[in-house]
A and B are shown apart, each in its own frame.
Chain A
Amino acid sequence: MPAVSKGDGMRGLAVFISDIRNCKSKEAEIKRINKELANIRSKFKGDKALDGYSKKKYVCKLLFIFLLGHDIDFGHMEAVNLLSSNKYTEKQIGYLFISVLVNSNSELIRLINNAIKNDLSSRNPTFMCLALHCIANVGSREMAEAFASEIPRILVAGDTMDSVKQSAALCLLRLYKTSPDLVLMGEWTSRVVHLLNDQHMGVVTAAISLITCLSQKNPDEFKTCVSLAVSRLSRIVSSASTDLQDYTYYFVPAPWLSCKLLRLLQCYPPPEDGAVKGRLVECLETILNKAQEPPKSKKVQHSNAKNAILFEAISLIIHYDSEPNLLVRACNQLGQFLQHRETNLRYLALESMCTLASSEFSHEAVKTHIETVINALKTERDVSVRQRAADLLYAMCDRSNAKQIVAEMLSYLETADYSIREEMVLKVAILAEKYAVDYSWYVDTILNLIRIAGDYVSEEVWYRVIQIVINRDDVQGYAAKTVFEALQAPACHENMVKVGGYILGEFGNLIAGDPRSSPLVQFNLLHSKFHLCSVPTRALLLSAYIKFINLFPETKATIQEVLRCDSQIRNSDVELQQRAVEYLKLSSIASTDVLATVLEEMPPFPERESSILAKLKKKKGPGAVSVPDLEDGKREGGELNGGGERGPDSAAMSASNASTPSPSADLLGMRSAAPMSAAPTSAGSLLVDVFSEAGPAAPSAAVNDDGFLRFVCKNNGVLFENQLLQIGIKSEYRQNLGRMYLFYGNKTSVQFASFTTTVSCPGELQSHILSILRLNVQTKPVEPVVEGGAQIQQVLNIECLTDFSEAPLLNIKFRYGGALQNLSLKLPVTINKFFQPTEMTSHDFFQRWKQLSQPQQEAQKIFKANHSMDTEVLKAKLLGLGTALLDDVDPNPENYVCAGVIQTKGQQVGCLLRLEPNGQAQMYRLTLRCSKDSVSLRLCELLAQQF
């Protein structure tokens, strides 16, 4: 007998649905729906009180209309009324409507809560389940407040029916996820863990989700679950397929629960207790053995269920990463799946192998499957599977197979799906750089990359090849020759022209000896591409031309001719026109020596983390870049160093002496030099602004601290900006007190919902800056909604109790278009903010300097200049630091000395500072002496990153 009773539906509903289905056009459908909505509205508003049945029918119609994609803006009240009906069917539809259509911000929550409260205390299990479902589906804060203490009681009570227990477990899980602070497990912990032993498998199924979540958050309190989970798993795995009756699914005992148990164990390290561990290893071996047994059924469901467990077991083995024997077996098993006829299994095998590749025990074993994986990349019909194959190739790549893998990925790129090309390009570029044995191979690879998939080669990639060529003498000649050849192709990608222009402009002389690539031939080749290129590329080419004039005086006349023609010197684009004019002038008035200085070869770029890697992280989110040793010892987050604005763009190229602005540099109209002298601190932001894009645009919560460093010497400005959000800061400090205004600006046209901010003081700071009070938050929380284009403000009051080095963290969460955005920033509250400047004479200064002579009171650092060494810039920074800048103190006028007192609540710390620049070496020596050694250290750390 079918379980759904027929013939007792609602006639009006069926008629309405039939009407809709009979509508011939979209218009007719909308008309019919509007008619119905009007009808329902009038019924709801009418004088005649509706009976429960009618309400139920209309609410059901509204649900159907909603499913068709129409907004429903009424009927909520009627649904709430249905909750208090004593008829089950009416109650049921009321709860359904609310679960589907009411969100957690609704004003009706209080009424709903009342109804739920009644049903929970009704002791009618069906009603209780409905109420628990509703809480689990809506899961609002108010519900948590009302029921968080009640649900655990229902869950562990001895007389609760199994079905209610199941619902209560998941209900509690939901509340814990929304409001962990309200769900206090304490006394319930052990009883909840023991639900793993419950006789009813359904209860275990529901409870294990709850326990897994709680274990992830409080591993220590829940660690007793490990041995219980192992014994439960062991009982399931060793049971005959009929033992578990209904929980046996296509001859596999309790597959879902087994998977969940194996997942739970992945929250913990391998069990320490030898017996437990032995039992678990036995389970894992049994699971691996079963995979080799002949199937008990030919149905796909049977193999699915069996393999679901197998894959989870393999995940656990990989997670433990401690049993070489099991790891190799796992790898062999996955190897079998790689060639399985089921596409799903091939997909999952590729995915699991990706994680296996990073284990030292199994990396070699994974590598043996390289041919199969390459084959998958070439022949799989499904893009999802090909993508996994590409990921795996990337993960298994090392020095021994890099050439083969890169070659295969390159050839795959020619036919790759558009959706994964950009990522493939990044991966090829990273592997080529990481495993380059000789740099000519690297250059070849990247140029091939540009040739094959030029459109997908992002700036970072071609910036990077130029950085590497510039930094390595041994590859420059080869690079010049290769780009020269590549440019000969009748049609070449614009990115190739950029790389070609740049490299020939720098190193064209290295191949000029060959008459086939004489200076004029090189120039003509470049110039033949000029007219087809976009403005930025043309600007770069113009810079290459002026460099040519320096490299090859014999080309001067030809190039001047080109610069002089109207299409350059009167170009409607300001940038191009300016370059043409200035370069022309420069080439005609400057002496050879001046030209040679101005147009000197680019100095090496500072070695930093690959900007490409940062880009890949940005694309895939941190953690997705599974080449672990690439990241070793490197800071999280990308530094798009040269890759950003300062990269081998033409501006930087023509301004190889950018760090010392000089009249000749101005002549070049350099983009980077001008703002540097105008606004001292903006120089530091080059790095930072690029970073802020790479950072938490994705919903990651990695702490972003580059904005932080910009504020050491200033109090106002933009702390953070990405595509969505801009955060501005204004702050003022007096003695040991400070006030900070934060401005959150929504850059989009869509509102941010559930906008919350919290400030936390990590670690030691907690005891030091106790009273970071968020006045606004306390009296009136930050508006939970930031409308599109709007800005809201928040005030923080800060008191410095004693010296500190960790900055407070600002955490921001909001929903943008449904996706949760989570952002952590270091708030730029640094110890130097509490400086009081102290003026003193030379005599006083040196006397105090000598008094602070204990070795730990002094901190010193010698470092390379990262920014302009211009006097005014330095002075502005030192003043911004908060100290007094003392003139005529140091016998060497080039040096800077400063003095100040840091005010904390408990004490005052006197500080003396000396900064000795060495313009020639582009280095500084920074010395600090303070009456408290921790302050010397911290200040030295902070300041060394400012100059």
Chain B
Amino acid sequence: MIKAILIFNNHGKPRLIRFYQYFTEDMQQQIIRETFHLVSKRDDNVCNFLEGGSLIGGSDYKLIYRHYATLYFVFCVDSSESELGILDLIQVFVETLDKCFENVCELDLIFHMDKVHYILQEVVMGGMVLETNMNEIVAQVEVQNRLEKSEVLNCLFCHVNSSPINREATKPAVPDQHRLRPL
């Protein structure tokens, strides 16, 4: 089972946090700090697995992580998961993000936190893997987007203040070193 999924940047700022087991808010923050501390001090060419740290529990748990450009993707899993399988899963998730956001970078995760959550929900549900086929995942996200679009169009007529923003206004062309480049 996947106990938690943490995404934070090179400075430890959380960008997406998902716990599949209940922890108090304080505990969640401590776990994020501890995990960042554990992961960030490791070189890029060491292995992608380490034991789970004291907070998230025991030797049955492992942290499996990957570092993409400015972001760390950390999955905390128990021994029922295949380590390499989870590495592939992280890759699938990031490739999916890249497809959905086109050249995904950290800013996309910041400004579209809700979207990232929805994409993740198509991959992992209640700590278990729901789907690993990228095309299937993207198809589900597209269904959601179509629904959203039809509702936004309706909204335009009733919300003068909420005129949609242009993504390019907040996110100009992505500098190359910021792209997560999953491939």
Partner pick for A96 among B58, B118, B140, CB 8 A cutoff: B118
* Across-interface contacts of B143 in A (CB, < 8 A): 126
Is B88 in contact with A246, judged by CB distance below 8 angstroms?
Answer: no
A634 within 8 A of B: no
Report the stretch among B68-76, B155-163, B172-180 that lies at the interface.
B155-163
Min Cβ gap B42→A in Å is 8
Min Cβ gap A836→B in Å is 48
Min Cβ gap B6→A in Å is 11
A305 within 8 A of B: yes
Min Cβ gap A749→B in Å is 13
Contact code string B15-50 (vs A, CB < 8 Å = 1, else 0): 111101111110101001000000000110111111
A680 within 8 A of B: no
A344 within 8 A of B: yes
Is B89 in contact with A256, judged by CB distance below 8 angstroms?
Answer: yes
Nearest B residue to A73 via CB reads B25
B11 within 8 A of A: no
Partner pick for B133 among A5, A202, A385, A620, CB 8 A cutoff: A202
Given contacts A4-B101, A5-B149, A88-B147, contact A818 B126 (CB under 8 A): no
The A-B contact count (CB < 8 A) is 227
Contacts of A191-232 to chain B: CB distance below 8 A: 201-202, 205-206, 209, 212
In the bound complex, how far is the Cα of B151 from the Cα of A369, in angstroms? 64
Report the stretch among A10-18, A605-613, A889-897 that lies at the interface.
A10-18
Contact code string A1-23 (vs B, CB < 8 Å = 1, else 0): 01111111111101001100100
In the bound complex, how far is the Cα of B142 from the Cα of A840, in angstroms? 90
Report the stretch among A63-71, A494-502, A740-748 that lies at the interface.
A63-71
Min Cβ gap B113→A in Å is 6
Min Cβ gap A446→B in Å is 26
Contact code string B67-107 (vs A, CB < 8 Å = 1, else 0): 00000000000001011110111011000000111100000
Is A170 in contact with B128, judged by CB distance below 8 angstroms?
Answer: yes
In the bound complex, how far is the Cα of B82 from the Cα of A103, in angstroms? 28
In the bound complex, how far is the Cα of B43 from the Cα of A381, in angstroms? 9
Min Cβ gap A298→B in Å is 12
Is A6 in contact with B88, judged by CB distance below 8 angstroms?
Answer: no
Q: Number of contact residues on A: which range applies? A: 35 or more
Given contacts A2-B102, A92-B144, A301-B88, contact A68 B132 (CB under 8 A): no
Contacts of A245-304 to chain B: CB distance below 8 A: 246-247, 249, 255-257, 259, 263, 301, 304
Is B113 in contact with A63, judged by CB distance below 8 angstroms?
Answer: yes
Min Cβ gap B86→A in Å is 9
* Across-interface contacts of A87 in B (CB, < 8 A): 151
Nearest B residue to A96 via CB reads B117
A93 within 8 A of B: yes
Given contacts A11-B163, A344-B83, A384-B49, contact A817 B130 (CB under 8 A): no
Q: How many chain B residues touch A (Cβ–Cβ < 8 Å)?
A: 88
* Across-interface contacts of B14 in A (CB, < 8 A): 67-69
Nearest B residue to A12 via CB reads B162
In the bound complex, how far is the Cα of B137 from the Cα of A206, in angstroms? 14
Partner pick for A126 among B85, B136, B144, CB 8 A cutoff: B144
Contact code string A812-843 (vs B, CB < 8 Å = 1, else 0): 00010111000000000000000000000000
A166 within 8 A of B: yes
Contact code string B145-173 (vs A, CB < 8 Å = 1, else 0): 10111011001001101111111101000
Is B101 in contact with A304, judged by CB distance below 8 angstroms?
Answer: no
Given contacts A3-B99, A343-B47, A348-B84, contact A206 B22 (CB under 8 A): no
In the bound complex, how far is the Cα of B138 from the Cα of A11, in angstroms? 25
Nearest B residue to A104 via CB reads B22
Is B113 in contact with A256, judged by CB distance below 8 angstroms?
Answer: no
Min Cβ gap A229→B in Å is 16
In the bound complex, how far is the Cα of B83 from the Cα of A202, in angstroms? 20
Interface centre among A57, A69, A624, A699 (most CB of B within 10 A): A69
Given contacts A126-B147, A301-B91, contact A3 B138 (CB under 8 A): yes
Is A96 in contact with B114, judged by CB distance below 8 angstroms?
Answer: yes
A33 within 8 A of B: no
Min Cβ gap A586→B in Å is 48
Nearest A residue to B156 via CB reads A8
* Across-interface contacts of B80 in A (CB, < 8 A): 212, 263
A689 within 8 A of B: no
In the bound complex, how far is the Cα of B102 from the Cα of A18, in angstroms? 21
* Across-interface contacts of A308 in B (CB, < 8 A): 82-85, 87-88
Is B85 in contact with A2, judged by CB distance below 8 angstroms?
Answer: no
Is B59 in contact with A620, judged by CB distance below 8 angstroms?
Answer: yes
Given contacts A6-B166, A305-B88, contact A209 B47 (CB under 8 A): no
Partner pick for A167 among B45, B125, B159, CB 8 A cutoff: B125
A171 within 8 A of B: yes
Given contacts A4-B115, A344-B48, contact A311 B162 (CB under 8 A): no
A174 within 8 A of B: yes
Min Cβ gap A311→B in Å is 7
Is A21 in contact with B87, judged by CB distance below 8 angstroms?
Answer: no
* Across-interface contacts of B134 in A (CB, < 8 A): 246
Given contacts A60-B114, A88-B144, contact A256 B165 (CB under 8 A): no
Is A246 in contact with B145, judged by CB distance below 8 angstroms?
Answer: no
A137 within 8 A of B: yes
In the bound complex, how far is the Cα of B48 from the Cα of A470, in angstroms? 48
Nearest A residue to B55 via CB reads A818
Partner pick for B130 among A88, A170, A257, A699, CB 8 A cutoff: A170
Given contacts A63-B113, A167-B130, A344-B49, contact A256 B101 (CB under 8 A): no
Min Cβ gap B62→A in Å is 9
A477 within 8 A of B: no
* Across-interface contacts of B170 in A (CB, < 8 A): 14, 18
Is B48 in contact with A206, judged by CB distance below 8 angstroms?
Answer: no
* Across-interface contacts of A621 in B (CB, < 8 A): 58-60
Nearest B residue to A754 via CB reads B22
In the bound complex, how far is the Cα of B19 from the Cα of A103, in angstroms? 11
Is A201 in contact with B140, judged by CB distance below 8 angstroms?
Answer: no
In the bound complex, how far is the Cα of B164 from the Cα of A57, in angstroms? 13
Is A344 in contact with B113, judged by CB distance below 8 angstroms?
Answer: no
In the bound complex, how far is the Cα of B114 from the Cα of A202, in angstroms? 24
Min Cβ gap A128→B in Å is 13
Nearest A residue to B102 via CB reads A2
Given contacts A3-B138, A14-B170, contact A89 B147 (CB under 8 A): yes
In the bound complex, how far is the Cα of B124 from the Cα of A137, in angstroms? 10
Is B136 in contact with A4, judged by CB distance below 8 angstroms?
Answer: no
Partner pick for A8 among B92, B102, B164, CB 8 A cutoff: B164
* Across-interface contacts of B152 in A (CB, < 8 A): 8, 89
* Across-interface contacts of A206 in B (CB, < 8 A): 125, 128-131
* Across-interface contacts of A406 in B (CB, < 8 A): none
Given contacts A2-B101, A206-B128, contact A9 B164 (CB under 8 A): yes
Min Cβ gap B97→A in Å is 9
Is A818 in contact with B125, judged by CB distance below 8 angstroms?
Answer: no
Given contacts A88-B144, A171-B126, A256-B132, contact A11 B164 (CB under 8 A): yes
Is A10 in contact with B162, judged by CB distance below 8 angstroms?
Answer: yes
In the bound complex, how far is the Cα of B143 from the Cα of A255, in angstroms? 26
B112 within 8 A of A: yes
Given contacts A304-B87, A305-B88, contact A64 B131 (CB under 8 A): no
In the bound complex, how far is the Cα of B108 from the Cα of A9, in angstroms? 12
In the bound complex, how far is the Cα of B173 from the Cα of A472, in angstroms? 78
Min Cβ gap A338→B in Å is 13
* Across-interface contacts of B112 in A (CB, < 8 A): 4, 9
Q: With A18-B170, A307-B84, A817-B27 given, can you name 5 additional A-B contacts, CB distance below 8 Å?
A: A7-B165, A60-B114, A92-B118, A246-B135, A385-B46
A and B contact pairs by CB, cutoff 8 A, 6 listed: A60-B113, A88-B144, A104-B22, A137-B125, A259-B82, A384-B51
Listed from nearest, the 8 A-B pairs whose CB atoms lie closest are A136-B126, A6-B167, A308-B84, A382-B46, A2-B102, A343-B47, A3-B100, A88-B147
Which B residues have a C-beta under 8 Å from some C-beta of A?
14-18, 20-25, 27, 29, 32, 42-43, 45-51, 55, 57-60, 80, 82-85, 87-89, 91-92, 99-102, 108, 110-115, 117-118, 121, 125-136, 138, 140-145, 147-149, 151-152, 155, 158-159, 161-168, 170
